[in-house]
Amino acid sequence: MILWLLIACLLMLSTVFLIYPFVRGDQIQKGEALDANLQIFIDQQSQLESQLSQKQIDQTQHQQLLTEAKELLLNNTENPEAQPAIIQENKQAIWLLPALLFLLPLFCFGFYHYVGASADQRIVELIQQASEPTDTNQSIELQTELYAAIEKRAEQRPDNIYYWILLAKRAIQKNDLAAAKYNYSQAIKLSPDDGFLLGQYAEILFMLANSQFTDEVLSALDKAFVIDSSNTTVLGLKGIQSFENQQWQLAITYWQEAKRQMDQTSATVKALKVGIARAQKRLSVEPQEQLPSLQIEILVSIDKSIDFNPEQRVFVALVAASGAPMPLAARKLRAGDLPTTITLSNADAVMAGYNLSNVNKVKAVARLSQSGSATPQIGDWEYSLTGINLRDLEQPLSLKISRQINTN
């Protein structure tokens, strides 16, 4: 109600500015017309005096013409009908005023409807109504109207991430996974580093792929895991992937971390407990061959051609040659302390249960961070070694940071 009162006040104020030029302009132009007539008389008087002095006319003709000029001046001043065309044109244009007064509110309301938030306001009202207790039929009607309005508005304003998320959740409720995938993909375009959205998107892809870890699923899952390794949806999927790869301990680790963050009375937690029990049983029956007391020496240095601050951070990590990008072991160093030799082992694991004993081949990476973040950024310097076989390892490894990252 307050909004409409404000709109009405603004419209009334705008009409004042619309009328003012017509009223003020008429007054100004009348004054200008009087000055113009007076100037015309003065010019005629000067011309008659010149003609008289040059004897082009006699005194009688001069007096007659001057009298006619005075009468014309008087007539133009007292008679509005005889004003110059400028005033007449102004009066003829007065018909524009009611037309403009009529078109002004139409234009304002039309413009507001197109670029304003009336549709968003309606959606808010529908959400409030849908959240209030009501009978089943009315609730269904409200839900239908609500999501129809959201879908239309999302197409009009695709930069509103909130609408895409609502549509994705609605699609999941209706078991329309293809629509859910599309809506989540639109939301991710607006917020590509949102761990929650990436986790939900990976789960939808997994279900669309009939619970198979396709390349598309793995790509989405790994990206979500890098951004937010504590996301329960992502941890659940990583646990399933590890279980399928017969990495029982890793599956247990993922599922236990997911379970820890959830409501312990939920159905999801009960399902995780079943999965953990199955993995533990497999682990006891088929224990994985592990490499005892594995330690890897790494010589880390920075190329002399690189200009850096001694307080910059250097991240050294051992990552599985294939699979999750989560480091098996990692260490953070100070750039000013290089060159130096460090030893990485299971004691440097980032996540409990996920360490060097879980794999046979690794990739070694050393990165000089410009921002201090462990996540690679454009402008960072790094060096990596791939295909390192932990069963046949020549130590120490040498990582000399010399290559700049130019793309993500």
pLDDT (mean) for 308-312: 93
Confidence of residue 134 (pLDDT cuts 50, 70, 90): low
Kindly report the average pLDDT of the chain as a whole number: 78
Task: Spell out the residues 6+ positions from residue 57 whose beta carbon is closer than 8 angstroms to its own.
Answer: 48, 51, 65
**Each residue of 211-247: pLDDT tens digit?**
889 999 999 999 898 888 889 999 999 999 988 888 8
**Each residue of 352-379: pLDDT tens digit?**
667 887 788 899 999 999 988 877 888 8
**Each residue of 253-266: pLDDT tens digit?**
889 889 988 888 88
Confidence of residue 289 (pLDDT cuts 50, 70, 90): very low
Pairing type for strands 381-389 and 403-404 reads antiparallel
Q: Rounded to whole angstroms, how far apart are CA atoms 276 and 239?
A: 9
| pLDDT value for 198 | 93
86 pLDDT exceeds 50? Answer: no
Say whether pTM exceeds 0.75.
no
pLDDT (mean) for 85-98: 52
All CATH 2.60.40 domain ranges in the chain, comma separated: 295-404
Instruction: Name the architecture of domain 295-404.
Output: Sandwich (2.60)
381 pLDDT exceeds 90? Answer: yes
